[in-house]
Chains A and B, each alone.
Chain A
């Protein structure tokens, strides 16, 4: 018998627990030449803001040991253009579409964004990106437990859609923040966003990224992310979407065993555009070999 890979995030049913991380999968079509997009559990779109954003100046990315820095700066066409041009194409894929949103200056923008998306049937769930390190904020919403609570609470009042809150690892206690998000009514938390980092060209003595600091992703951050998922799993009851450095089935399983109900693949999509579908197949195989009938039995199954 085939193992059961179905999971639920709030009311949203996913055929399997593998999704693709915001900002690393374009709007899906970039990957259509390489995989059958329908095989994914869900797709999370690039974070969208109220107004179009052209993003940060170049250079925006550089490679670091087993990772990469990015400071894209949330380049996106703005919510109206997104709804008009990107959303219909995303919807056609036929899997749940999770729309990632962010505010630029004022957290009340989240309310306007959610109101705009709330009655669109193409939108399965909304991910609140309160953790992007590449906006010139002094402080992220997700670096402040009560600010997180306030924003999630305010947004929760506006929508019945599944709400996912994306957390920053650049905090002293991620589980405290996750708990507040849960209390405010989040249906799930996703973690981690990128870790703040910096890299210098010693010949020019210039930073390798124009904005100087940037977000680190890739295998380099995986142990940190796995630990954070485990820590949050021990504190909250809502599902966790785990990510940070997943590059193959084994690394995806690490997150699930640590406590993730679903996993999201980011940077690895750039290296192997087929990786997301390969991980779906890999998890299925692992479950068969280990006689696990339901993926939910694997979540948080860490042995002492």
Chain B
């Protein structure tokens, strides 16, 4: 059995500007088995407020540690951000299917393209590390220059990076999906595989573009989850193959499988 529930010791928990934080947790049992695109259910709180665990993507694995990259948006992420090194956080993981980057599903022989919107960079760094050899192209979409995350990490993995910001303060001005569209016009990219994570509307737009160029796209969906390990049947996703569970059958799906 792969998934475990452990009290993971915080090695570091640093603010990266804005409301973004990166936590490094000692979690060998999770780190050993984790695949890119998988997530953990964290419970930084005690007591009943907030009540449920929260899903966070596995941002990276370094030896026996896992890294989480998160934005403080509410109570649970707020409590997590206050934790100091040495404190424990209860986590369950690794959970979900993860990206498929070997064998089946990876038809394309071209360079993989990673598309991140906002916090969607979180799980893609781990993927970039794993497919380093293929020299992925990474497109990062952010509100403004100061919202761009993980440039350094992607560079470290040998990726080429292109930026799109809503206000044009860095790189391409406009949506990251519009940037993707311009890139795919170049024929050498049309054999690529796309891996994406970000807000649902971005992923929906990305699906249209991928279909237009007949490129396979794997996307990681963010659904509200009750348990994260298939017990509550809460995180339903409507697909062409019927209802599926984001936590167990996903969170990574083929974009064309989703009924948007």
B231 contacts A30, CB within 8 Å? Answer: yes
| A68 in contact (CB, < 8 A) | yes
A75 contacts B53, CB within 8 Å? Answer: no
- B residues 1-39 with Cβ under 8 Å of A? 1-5
Q: Given contacts A33-B1, A33-B2, A34-B5, are A60 and B233 in contact (CB under 8 A)?
A: yes
B5 contacts A274, CB within 8 Å? Answer: yes
| B43 in contact (CB, < 8 A) | yes
A67 contacts B51, CB within 8 Å? Answer: yes
Within the complex, which residue of B224, B227, B232 is in contact with A59, where a contact is CB–CB below 8 Å? Answer: B224
Within the complex, which residue of B229, B230, B236 is in contact with A58, where a contact is CB–CB below 8 Å? Answer: B236
User: CA A56 – CA B49 in complex, angstroms?
Assistant: 27
Closest to A219 in B: B48
Residues of A within 8 Å of B233, CB to CB, are 23, 46, 55, 60, 72, 75
User: CA A272 – CA B6 in complex, angstroms?
Assistant: 11
User: CA A271 – CA B92 in complex, angstroms?
Assistant: 10
- B residues 105-127 with Cβ under 8 Å of A? none
Residues of A within 8 Å of B226, CB to CB, are 61, 68, 70, 270
A66 contacts B49, CB within 8 Å? Answer: yes
Of residues A31, A34, A58, A66, which shows the largest number of chain B Cβ atoms within 10 Å of its Cβ? A58
- B residues 214-260 with Cβ under 8 Å of A? 223-238, 242-243
B52 contacts A55, CB within 8 Å? Answer: no
Residues of B within 8 Å of A26, CB to CB, are 230-231
| A25 in contact (CB, < 8 A) | yes
Q: Given contacts A54-B242, A68-B226, are A271 and B3 in contact (CB under 8 A)?
A: no
User: CA A55 – CA B245 in complex, angstroms?
Assistant: 12
Closest to B236 in A: A58
Residues of B within 8 Å of A63, CB to CB, are 50-52
Q: Given contacts A63-B50, A271-B51, are A72 and B2 in contact (CB under 8 A)?
A: no
Residues of B within 8 Å of A33, CB to CB, are 1-5
Within the complex, which residue of A32, A56, A61, A272 is in contact with B1, where a contact is CB–CB below 8 Å? Answer: A32
| A96 in contact (CB, < 8 A) | no
B77 to chain A minimum Cβ distance, whole angstroms, is: 13
Q: Given contacts A31-B231, A270-B231, are A218 and B51 in contact (CB under 8 A)?
A: yes
A45 to chain B minimum Cβ distance, whole angstroms, is: 12
Residues of B within 8 Å of A66, CB to CB, are 48-49, 51
Q: Given contacts A33-B3, A55-B236, A57-B238, are A25 and B231 in contact (CB under 8 A)?
A: yes
Closest to B75 in A: A63
Residues of B within 8 Å of A59, CB to CB, are 223-224
User: CA A267 – CA B2 in complex, angstroms?
Assistant: 23
Residue-wise, chain A 141-174 has the 8 Å CB interface mask toward B (1 for contact) of 0000000000000000000000000000000000
Residue-wise, chain A 85-112 has the 8 Å CB interface mask toward B (1 for contact) of 0000000000000000000000000000
Within the complex, which residue of A23, A58, A269 is in contact with B237, where a contact is CB–CB below 8 Å? Answer: A58
User: CA A271 – CA B45 in complex, angstroms?
Assistant: 11
A262 to chain B minimum Cβ distance, whole angstroms, is: 20
User: CA A267 – CA B227 in complex, angstroms?
Assistant: 9
Residue-wise, chain A 35-70 has the 8 Å CB interface mask toward B (1 for contact) of 000000000001000000011111111110111101
| A24 in contact (CB, < 8 A) | yes
| A118 in contact (CB, < 8 A) | no
B5 contacts A273, CB within 8 Å? Answer: yes
Within the complex, which residue of B224, B230, B238 is in contact with A61, where a contact is CB–CB below 8 Å? Answer: B224
A70 to chain B minimum Cβ distance, whole angstroms, is: 6
Within the complex, which residue of B2, B50, B52, B223 is in contact with A270, where a contact is CB–CB below 8 Å? Answer: B52
B2 contacts A24, CB within 8 Å? Answer: no
Closest to B234 in A: A61
Residue-wise, chain B 38-63 has the 8 Å CB interface mask toward A (1 for contact) of 00000100001111110000000000
Of residues B51, B52, B242, which shows the largest number of chain A Cβ atoms within 10 Å of its Cβ? B51
Given contacts A30-B229, A58-B223, A270-B228, 6 further A-B contacts (CB under 8 A): A55-B233, A60-B236, A66-B48, A66-B49, A72-B232, A273-B229
A-B contacts, 5 listed (Cβ < 8 Å): A33-B1, A34-B4, A59-B224, A61-B232, A61-B234
> Which 3 pairs between the two chains have the least Cβ-Cβ distance?
A61-B234, A270-B227, A33-B1
What is B's interface to A at a CB cutoff of 8 Å? 1-5, 43, 48-53, 90, 92, 223-238, 242-243
